[in-house]
A and B are shown apart, each in its own frame.
Chain A
Amino acid sequence: MKIRDCMKRQVYTLPDTACVRDAVDFVLRYHVGMLPVVDAEGKLVGVVKLRDLLELGMPDFVSLVEDFAFVSHFGAGELQQPDPADLARPVREVMHEPIFVEENSSPMYAAALLHHHAIRDLPVVNEHGVLIGLASHVDIGCAVMRAWKLG
């Protein structure tokens, strides 16, 4: 079994000319947690994570204190809004180097990648680097477990 046999073929992609505000719209419209960014030829150039977008509107202390068990309500922090300047930034500036697999990779290899990088979704590309699908940790996990001899 290859990764292309368990991936989703319908992938919503973000053009590399988009800005962060577009990325937020994209998440709201398609209800997805990971956005592959592609260039004009459909090649995968980066990924934007829901987590990075959320951080824009998260209180600053979240990344500064070790834990906040002593807080039960964030008060004014609940209403934190992202900075308009951040929303206007091009996604090219905020996206990450993509972690991806080639369509002929095995599900086990893909599962190891997810595990190693602590991520949940893996873009799949063809031999030319063009994005052709997306495999979630459930897709990959099920593909691996199907090969188990459960007795």
Chain B
Amino acid sequence: MTAVWISSLIFVVCLGVIFSEKVHRTIIALVGAVVMVAAGMIFGFYTEEQAVATIDFNTLGLLLGMMMLVALLEPTGFFQFLAVWVGRVSGGRPVRLLVLLGAVTTLVSMFLDNVTTVVLIAPVTILICEILGYNPQPFLLSEALLSNTGGVATLVGDPPNILIASAAGFTFTDFLVYSLPIVLVTWVVTLGFLRWLFRRELHAPGPEAAAAVLELDPQEAIKDRKMVRRILIALGLALIGFMLEEQLHVRPSFVALAAAALALVWTRPDVRAVLNRVEWDILLFFASLFILVGGMEAAGVLAMLSQAILSWGHLSPAVLGLVLLWVVAGLSAVVDNVPITIALIPVIQGLGQSGLDVGPLWWALAFGAGFGGNGTIIGSTANVIVASLSERTRHPITPVLWSKRGLPVMLVACAVSSLLYVLFFF
């Protein structure tokens, strides 16, 4: 029983400090992992070997491979090209611009790192808005909210999805079959809702401003055409590889790393510069969380949680799924959704071992973790990025503004996905 209390305490304290944002989350996770292993060795519930075995190298490999591809694509100007092109195509009409920018950000972040996408597209969004004389807030908020929403659709769209797929054995195609349709409907509803929320802000531009937008030249944004082509081909091959995962008998991490290797050998960049852009802090964060949560699992905390859920009596699976979706969404709005997901995976696995059909529960976890991030300004990294970029403009996005625009979006997305979830899975 001591082991249960100690391991839970370490995890909860880590989550609390992550929530307080006083120390970088990677540092907290690493310290937490070290403390967990030390406590495990002292109280005899966790060994170094067990700790290493908890690290899911499939998740880390997939993240690393995709990060290297993004790191290659980042300096080519491809992301800026997309934003400028969309700005031009919109002709400066506000609703069209909102829809197109939202769609492009979503589409790109369904396959590539959400954070990089937003980091590179948001400044160009501000540029287009200033040329048109618009307040960029609706556009920035929509980009973050829509890309968070859209990311749930694919295996590689969102870190929780990668974790869930790896644990549950879901393939890329599973996501296209089970998640994409629900996310698509939720995304369209979200977009319509955003359009309504921002109805007062979206007005037509002056004629001169509209003309200036038509003069934008997307081609000028691309720095190295050959490089872009080669990296996009490698990315395309990766997507095909993901879809043929079962036929090829390979895991997504192999596909991603193979595509990154191909892109590297084909473009032969300054490899140090590329590796400098890889987000090693995130990889370390994941590895540390695996060890941290592994300690709780070894101590029997997560098995107790599964037992507790089962002992509630005969809950209908649909109700259990909905409760999970909303609880995870609520938690993900205030803390990082990665530790939540990593901690809940063994719980769901425990429920599965006791004979429950946990298939739908995995999807509830994915939807909750994904849509919950929309709720607060710190709910997802994309939110944090657009907010901190906007602070350097004349129209800063404040937590209060987020609670007026983002929170309703989260509630609507969760409601819509709940409805579809029940219809689809039960």
Interface window among A36-44, A63-71, A102-110? A63-71
Q: Nearest Cβ in chain A — how far from B9, in angstroms?
A: 43
Q: How many residues on chain B are close to A (CB under 8 Å)? A: 29
A73 CB contacts on chain B under 8 angstroms = 131, 211-212, 215
- Residues from 199 to 248 in B contacting A, C-beta threshold 8 Å: 205-206, 208-213, 215-221
A74 CB contacts on chain B under 8 angstroms = 130-131, 212
B215 CB contacts on chain A under 8 angstroms = 71-73
A72 CB contacts on chain B under 8 angstroms = 212, 215-217
Given contacts A73-B215, A74-B212, A75-B209, is CB(A61)–CB(B221) below 8 Å?
A: no
Q: Nearest Cβ in chain A — how far from B246, in angstroms?
A: 41
Given contacts A60-B393, A76-B209, is CB(A69)–CB(B131) below 8 Å?
A: no
Question: Does B392 sit within 8 A of A, measured CB to CB?
Answer: yes
B127 CB contacts on chain A under 8 angstroms = 59, 61, 64-65, 68, 71
Interface pair B132/A64, CB less than 8 Å apart? no
The secondary structure that dominates the B interface is: helix
User: Which one of A61, A65, A69, A75 contacts B133 once the chains associate, using CB atoms below 8 Å?
Assistant: A75
Q: How many residues on chain A are close to B (CB under 8 Å)? A: 20
A66 CB contacts on chain B under 8 angstroms = 80
Interface pair B131/A64, CB less than 8 Å apart? no
Question: Does B299 sit within 8 A of A, measured CB to CB?
Answer: no
Question: Does A33 sit within 8 A of B, measured CB to CB?
Answer: no
Given contacts A61-B130, A65-B127, A77-B130, is CB(A70)–CB(B393) below 8 Å?
A: no
Bound CA–CA A61/B123 (angstroms):
6
Given contacts A73-B212, A75-B213, A77-B130, is CB(A64)–CB(B389) below 8 Å?
A: yes
B81 nearest CB neighbor, chain A only: A70
Question: Does A25 sit within 8 A of B, measured CB to CB?
Answer: no
A80 CB contacts on chain B under 8 angstroms = 130
Bound CA–CA A54/B206 (angstroms):
24
Question: Does B63 sit within 8 A of A, measured CB to CB?
Answer: no
Q: Which of A60, A68, A80 has the most CB atoms of chain B within a 10 A radius of its CB?
A: A60
Question: Does A83 sit within 8 A of B, measured CB to CB?
Answer: yes
Interface pair B392/A75, CB less than 8 Å apart? no
Question: Does B268 sit within 8 A of A, measured CB to CB?
Answer: no
Bound CA–CA A66/B213 (angstroms):
19
B84 CB contacts on chain A under 8 angstroms = 70
Sample of 15 more A-B contacts, CB < 8 Å, known A61-B123, A69-B220, A71-B212: A59-B130, A60-B392, A60-B394, A64-B127, A64-B392, A64-B393, A65-B124, A65-B126, A68-B127, A70-B84, A70-B220, A73-B212, A75-B205, A76-B209, A76-B212
A-to-B contact residues, CB < 8 Å: 59-61, 63-66, 68-77, 79-80, 83
B-to-A contact residues, CB < 8 Å: 80, 84, 123-124, 126-127, 130-133, 205-206, 208-213, 215-221, 389, 392-394
